[in-house]
Amino acid sequence: MANVPNEPKGSKPKTTATKSTRTANLAYSKYLKKMYTRAAESAARGNPVAWVMAGAMADEILVAMDIGRVYPENFAGVCAAKKGAQPFLEAAESDGFSNVICGYARTGIGYGRMKRQLGAIPPGTPDGGMPDPAMLVGRTTSCDIGYKWFQAQKRYEDAPLHVIDVVMPPLASNLEEVLPSYIEFQTEELRAFIAFVEKVTGRKMDYDRLNKVVDIAHESIWHYYETHKLRRAIPCPMPTQDHLACFAPGFFMLGEPETLEFYKDLHAEVQQRVDEKVGVIPNEEFRLLWAGGLPPWHNLGIFNYFESLGAVFVAETCYNIWDPYPPGTRGDVVEWIARSSIHHRTEYLTPPRDPRVSAGGLKAGTFLSGRQVSVQWLLDKINDYKVDGLVMHGTMSCRACTIGQLYFKDTLKEYIDLPTLFIESDIIDERNFSETNMKSQIDSFVESLANARKRKQESQAREVGKSGQTSKA
């Protein structure tokens, strides 16, 4: 990590991001906040509340069984954005947890530790904190933390833990051959989870209700997926900082009617902005891809700094919404959730579409290697969203999203030459963050975007000149 000099005295860096769409501005105040108040009210009435990890595939099941939900990953992001995470990070570290462990996990663990010491939610906790859990729901996907975090959290919470094994075939598999056994396994995992919730709460799953909840979830995802396609327009109607607010209802309130209402509103608003050619900034000079890593939740205002220099983030590779799984194929609803999960995890593992990637010599029907999947994915985004440059964020405490970034950056150069900025800080912990340093890196990067464009224009002019001479001859 970079050596961080002191910030100038008296400087007050902007930490939150100014959003472009009206709907994104409501994502937190009108929707997400409700998750915490509802969970607190639910717990006060004696109803069970689950602490859940995003991506555990537990959402629709818990909604259908009326279990209150909070997501400690989101809680950590909210704490960081509100400058309230530091005491929790330090509390976790004082209990022996290393400062390179996931910032989300350290925030949750530190919160649990302080809550246990005080016998109550620590005063001043953003959004009133998370009520005591009746159950902890972990997942095996994404990273080792997904599996281990809640095991450590159990030091402070008197609640049973269930970890859902969320599976994805190995990259070298033949999809057609292995898919049935993966779907069968995933379905059984979800059935075991339902049995766990029934045992802990004494409630029975209502499968008609689950079907309705899945309908709502599916329609919500469809609206958000279509909204993302609209961001290909020039000028771009919705930037990455809006996505970083708008993904949250889909990740943390999936299956709830308000979430569907939210995405319908967003879809309509973004369509209107495209129709009226309303961009994020008045003069969109450069279109950027957030091409790796999670964002610095503690200082999202940095996105607006790019905009002040004419650069807009038109797409990103984090918290992506997936291609909705076709609802017409639904039979057994639990199996459908399993199929949908595997579809989401394998949609990019298709034969290469870009001829430059397929030149790698892969057989149709087999998965690509991780390297080529990522290159294909980045190339798709670059082409579809007409990207001029890439930004990657190496985060100290999320190895899962940082590993391979430099490798992908270098590999991508084999296919396309675009200016790329590599920045370093963390998702939650701002002890290594310097706004001054980052802004100076951004200044140089935007200069390199301008130079690259100039070189391209000069080369195109030379080509036109040559062809003019040829036709005269």
Which lies closer to ligand SF4 via its Cβ, residue 110 or residue 146?
A: 146
What is each CA distance from 11 to 105, 255, 436, 440, in whole angstroms?
Answer: 30, 43, 10, 15
The minimum distance between CB 466 and ligand SF4, in angstroms, equals 50
The minimum distance between CB 292 and ligand SF4, in angstroms, equals 12
Separation CA 431–CA 86 (nearest Å): 9
Which lies closer to ligand SF4 via its Cβ, residue 334 or residue 401?
A: 401
Cβ-Cβ contacts under 8 Å for 333 (sequence gap 6 or more): 207, 210, 211, 214
Q: Alpha-carbon dihedral of residues 419, 425, 430, 434, nearest 10 degrees?
A: -50
The vertex-256 CA angle with 250 and 261, nearest 5°, equals: 75
The vertex-352 CA angle with 348 and 353, nearest 5°, equals: 100
The minimum distance between CB 306 and ligand SF4, in angstroms, equals 23
Dihedral (CA of 423, 429, 432, 435) sign? positive
The minimum distance between CB 104 and ligand SF4, in angstroms, equals 5
The minimum distance between CB 428 and ligand SF4, in angstroms, equals 9
Which lies closer to ligand SF4 via its Cβ, residue 398 or residue 418?
A: 398
Phi, psi (degrees; rounded to nearest 5) at 163:
-105, 120
The minimum distance between CB 15 and ligand SF4, in angstroms, equals 19
Q: Which residues bind ligand SF4 (CB under 6 A)?
A: 102, 104-105, 142-143, 145-146, 294, 398, 400-401, 427
The minimum distance between CB 367 and ligand SF4, in angstroms, equals 21
Which lies closer to ligand SF4 via its Cβ, residue 97 or residue 445?
A: 97
Please say whether the beta carbons of 367 and 171 come within 8 A: yes
For the chain, the distance separating the N- and C-terminal CA atoms, rounded to the nearest angstrom, is 59
Which lies closer to ligand SF4 via its Cβ, residue 76 or residue 236?
A: 76
Which lies closer to ligand SF4 via its Cβ, residue 49 or residue 398?
A: 398
The minimum distance between CB 208 and ligand SF4, in angstroms, equals 34
AA letter at 466: K
The vertex-298 CA angle with 295 and 301, nearest 5°, equals: 75
Sheet holding 161-164, edge to edge: 68-70, 49-52, 135-139, 161-164
Separation CA 239–CA 228 (nearest Å): 10
AA letter at 275: D
Which lies closer to ligand SF4 via its Cβ, residue 20 or residue 153?
A: 153
The minimum distance between CB 109 and ligand SF4, in angstroms, equals 12
Classify residue 328 by its DSSP letter. G
What is the Cα gyration radius of the chain? 23
Which lies closer to ligand SF4 via its Cβ, residue 290 or residue 385?
A: 290
Please say whether the beta carbons of 154 and 147 come within 8 A: no
The minimum distance between CB 390 and ligand SF4, in angstroms, equals 20
Separation CA 304–CA 19 (nearest Å): 9
The minimum distance between CB 370 and ligand SF4, in angstroms, equals 16
The greatest distance separating any two alpha carbons of the chain, rounded to the nearest whole angstrom, comes to: 88
AA letter at 379: L
Which lies closer to ligand SF4 via its Cβ, residue 338 or residue 427?
A: 427
The minimum distance between CB 167 and ligand SF4, in angstroms, equals 17
Which lies closer to ligand SF4 via its Cβ, residue 43 or residue 401?
A: 401
Which lies closer to ligand SF4 via its Cβ, residue 120 or residue 403?
A: 403
Which lies closer to ligand SF4 via its Cβ, residue 294 or residue 312?
A: 294
* Coil, helix or strand at residue 45: coil
Which residues make beta-bridge pairs with 164? 139
The two tokens of residue 319 are: 């918290």
